[in-house]
A and B are shown apart, each in its own frame.
Chain A
Amino acid sequence: MRRVAFVALLVSQAAFAQKTDARLDCKHTGKDFIYDCVIRLARAGEPLTGAQVTVGADMPSMPMAHQVKPVKAKPTKTLGEYRARLDLEMGGEWAVKLRLSDPVRDQLVLHYEFDERGARPVKRSAKSPRK
Chain B
Amino acid sequence: MDEYAIGVLTSIGLLTFVAASAYLLLIAGELSFGQQAFFGVGAYAAGIATAMFGLPLPLAILAAMLLGGLAAALVGLPALRLRGLYFAMATLAAAEMLRILFELFHWQVQVGGEAVGPDGTQGFRGIRWVFERGVEPLGFLGIVWALLAGVVLLFILVERSRLGTTIRALGEDPELAGALGVDVLRLKLGVVAAAGALAALGGALFAHHNTYIEPRNFDIMLGVHTLAYALIGGLGTVFGPLLGVALDLGLLEGTRVFQGYRMIVFGGLVALLLIWRPRGLLDERMVHWLRTRR
B212 x A109 contact (CB < 8 A): yes
- Chain B residues bordering chain A, tally (CB within 8 A): 39
B interface secondary structure, majority: helix
Note all chain A residues with C-beta closer than 8 A to B217.
60-61, 63
A129 to B194, alpha carbons, bound, how many Å?
A: 30
Q: Is there a chain B Cβ closer than 8 Å to A36's Cβ?
A: no
| Partner-binding segment picked from A1-9, A40-48, A66-74, A76-84 | A66-74
Interface residues on A, range: 20 to 34
B212 x A69 contact (CB < 8 A): no
Q: Is there a chain A Cβ closer than 8 Å to B165's Cβ?
A: no
A129 x B121 contact (CB < 8 A): yes
Task: Specify which of B14, B114, B121, B221 is in contact with A62 (CB 8 Å cutoff).
Answer: B221
A126 x B120 contact (CB < 8 A): yes
A107 x B122 contact (CB < 8 A): no
In the complex, how many residue pairs between chain A and chain B have their CB atoms under 8 Å apart?
A: 82
A interface secondary structure, majority: loop
Note all chain B residues with C-beta closer than 8 A to A61.
216-217, 219, 221
B128 to chain A, nearest CB (A): 7
Note all chain B residues with C-beta closer than 8 A to A65.
11, 15, 221, 225, 248-249, 253
Residue in chain A with minimal CB distance to B254: A67
Q: Is there a chain B Cβ closer than 8 Å to A117's Cβ?
A: no
B131 x A107 contact (CB < 8 A): yes
A70 x B122 contact (CB < 8 A): no
B121 x A89 contact (CB < 8 A): no
* B1-35 contact mask (Cβ, 8 Å, vs A): 1 or 0: 00110011001001100000000000000000000
Task: State the B residues within 8 Å of A (CB).
Answer: 3-4, 7-8, 11, 14-15, 100, 103-104, 112-114, 119-122, 125, 128, 131-132, 206, 210-212, 214-217, 219, 221-222, 225, 248-249, 253, 259-260, 262
Interface pairs (17), CB distance under 8 Å = A54-B3, A58-B210, A62-B225, A63-B217, A64-B14, A67-B7, A67-B8, A70-B4, A70-B7, A90-B260, A109-B211, A126-B120, A126-B121, A129-B103, A129-B104, A129-B121, A130-B216
Lowest 9 CB-CB distances: which A-B pairs, in order?
A129-B103, A64-B11, A109-B212, A60-B216, A62-B221, A17-B112, A124-B121, A69-B4, A63-B217
